[in-house]
Structure 1
Amino acid sequence: MDTAQRPHRHPEKRNRPDNPIQRKPSWIRVKAPVGKEYKNTRKIVDDHKLVTVCQEAACPNIGECWEKKHATFMIMGEICTRACAFCNVATGKPNALDAFEPFRIADAVEKLGLEHVVITSVDRDDLADGGAAHFAQVITAIRERMPETTIEILTPDFKGKHGALEVVVEARPDVFNHNLETVPRLYPTVRPGARYFTSLQLLAQVKQLDPTVFTKSGLMVGLGETKIEIQQLMDDYRAADVDFLTIGQYLQPTAKHHHIDRFVTPEEFESYASMARARGFLMVSSSPLTRSSYHAGDDFRRLRDAREKKLSAQRVTPAAE
């Protein structure tokens, strides 16, 4: 949909008071994307008429990732049915699903030569299954075109729609990611369209449906959370058997979005990583610029190795006793 049809990207935020955007500290600044491979990646995305979360969410890592031909595809359009206070994706009434999108994505994955691909989506509360079948069709299309490519999905919560999660899990993604984003206390202001324990339960249910699928989830910091709240969130994650935790700095997209409470230092991010590792996560990525799909391919290989190492240790231990 062009700007003439959708003049306001965030109509629900128009009348909110402005939150001044703070100057970023030195450890968060990134270079503008200018490389040759960045341009090639953009051309493939444009030629296939695809949407990426890299662009829609104004990811600070787009230059680095696209230079390596790593793009996170966002399916089911660029308009979300929800209006989270932190998110730069447009809010409004989405268009009908594009039945050919799964095949265009599979073709783009082949042309980019991706060994690992990340697929995410807008929230589609307007659909009977929340878009679950479309996720499954994308996974299937990639598997048929690129059977060796590993697939990571980053899904919405499907609003508790009966049977939706089962459809996605049955398509056998390698990694199932669903972000909690923030601590429970901040949900009413940061993520008002979602419920903390609904999201937590979804992650736990994935493991119950298929224990072989890696589960992953992300947290933003700098929204006003406390260290104790983060520790409790980590404990909740482990109770849900989440394998991989990502923690990154919240960056305010516009003056109408949720304000930044503070910029968390690199040293604090490392302390969060230590806390998470002590709780038994297979993988932790914690840094100011960490995002859900940042270095996803390399992280997947490390995640797979970490599980094998853990399983090997469990096999050896009984024999030693």
Structure 2
Amino acid sequence: MAVLIDTLNGRDRRQVRHPEKQSRPDAPVMRKPDWIRVRAPGSPIYRETQDIVRSNKLVTVCEEAGCPNIGECWSKKHATFMILGDTCTRACAFCNVRTGMPQPVDADEPRRIAEAVAKLGLHHVVITSVDRDDLKDGGARHFADVIRAIREVSPTTTIEILTPDFLRKDGALEIVVEARPDVFNHNLECVPSLYLTVRPGARYFHSIRLLQRVKELDPSMFTKSGIMVGLGEERNEVLQLMDDLRVAEIDFLTIGQYLQPTKKHHSIARFVTPDEFKAYETIAYAKGFLMVSSSPLTRSSHHAGEDFERLRAARPLKLGTRVAAE
């Protein structure tokens, strides 16, 4: 393994990369088009959010994954917390989260997350994690502990979780669903033909089945999934993926542009234009999704609170229309 030093927002991060990431040939990072440019972070509220994250010794996916929307979100006191450490047991070709052997689970983390949610005054919070294939339940019980801790401190805060696939972890999904998050999100990340190179540790149809199983366990729970485009997928593959998600009764679809973190990561095949994103959105709504966010800078947790309110408002409308038709 190799150790890299990376700086993001003034903070050093030591990153341990798996050999398979190191062995990938360098891929030149393409220059971003004008529609993907964002302002550098640095507002006073951004710094306040950063201080709360630091003082509670928390990890955010905003920083670890190098999200381009961090300046906008943190300036609104919106942060997406990444639990179970900052080290992933997998080495996906698109992801900038470091890979290696994780530290033991921090039993105090749920309390600190809940305190940070209260300090930030979050009406809606997104909780995600690294993959923890080393744990018997994949970290499912820790997700449940975090949800319950937030409910105790901030009972009116709605909770969205973005989970790993819990591959080969029997009973893990049931533990998380039983804790009753408001939104259950699990990203497919890309079309199935790219899994071998982009997401080699995962299985496309397992992820589809995981999302479908959530609805079977709790039909009232909102489900969500997202993909990146610009990795080399064909348009028809994206449309087929939409159909697969609708068979699993997914409520909310997000589609965003893949941005290559470093030369060691999967290369960008092309930058998808805003008009193409708009076309995907139109098609997705026609296929029956309650909510669709499709744009170059769309990310799973970007505008998650506003989108949740729209998602919640869309459900009665859809159900009412269906009942009237029957």
Per the shorter chain, which TM-score range?
over 0.9
SS of the residue corresponding to residue 116 of structure 2 reads helix
SS of the residue corresponding to residue 301 of structure 2 reads coil
Question: Structure 1: which 5+ runs fail to align?
Answer: none
Structure 2 counterpart of 1:164: 172
Q: CA deviation at 1:47?
A: 0.3
Name the amino acid aligned to 2:199: R
Within the candidate set 278, 284, 287, 2:292 is matched to: 284
Q: How does 1:181-192 map to 2 (within 5 A)?
A: 181-192=189-200
Within the candidate set 227, 231, 241, 2:235 is matched to: 227
Q: Does 1:61 align with 2:60?
A: no
SS of the residue corresponding to residue 167 of structure 2 reads helix
What is the aligned length?
316
Q: Percent identity?
A: 69
Contact 2:226–2:255 (CA under 8 A) maintained in structure 1: yes
Structure 2 counterpart of 1:46: 54
Q: CA deviation at 1:311?
A: 1.6
CA deviation string 1:13-33 (max 9, x = no partner) = 223210000100000010000
Q: Does 1:117 align with 2:125?
A: yes
Q: How does 1:207-222 map to 2 (within 5 A)?
A: 207-222=215-230
SS of the residue corresponding to residue 214 of structure 2 reads helix
* TM-score, normalised with respect to structure 2: 0.95
Distance 2:219 2:25 in 1: 46
Distance 1:14 1:194 in 2: 20
Distance 1:245 1:316 in 2: 26
Classify 1:64/1:240 alpha carbon distance in 2 versus 1 (closer, same or farther; 3 Å).
Answer: same
* TM-score, normalised with respect to structure 1: 0.96
SS of the residue corresponding to residue 16 of structure 2 reads coil
Contact 2:18–2:91 (CA under 8 A) maintained in structure 1: no
Q: CA deviation at 1:202?
A: 0.2
Distance 1:165 1:296 in 2: 22
Regions of 4+ moved over 6 Å: none
Distance 2:30 2:219 in 1: 43
Classify 1:8/1:134 alpha carbon distance in 2 versus 1 (closer, same or farther; 3 Å).
Answer: closer
Structure 2 counterpart of 1:72: 80
Q: CA deviation at 1:9?
A: 3.2
Question: Structure 2: which 5+ runs fail to align?
Answer: 6-12
Q: Does 1:93 align with 2:78?
A: no
Q: CA deviation at 1:3?
A: 7.5
Q: Does 1:176 align with 2:191?
A: no
Name the amino acid aligned to 1:10: R
CA deviation string 1:240-292 (max 9, x = no partner) = 00000000000000000000000000000001001101100000000000000
Distance 2:279 2:200 in 1: 29
Structure 1 counterpart of 2:249: 241
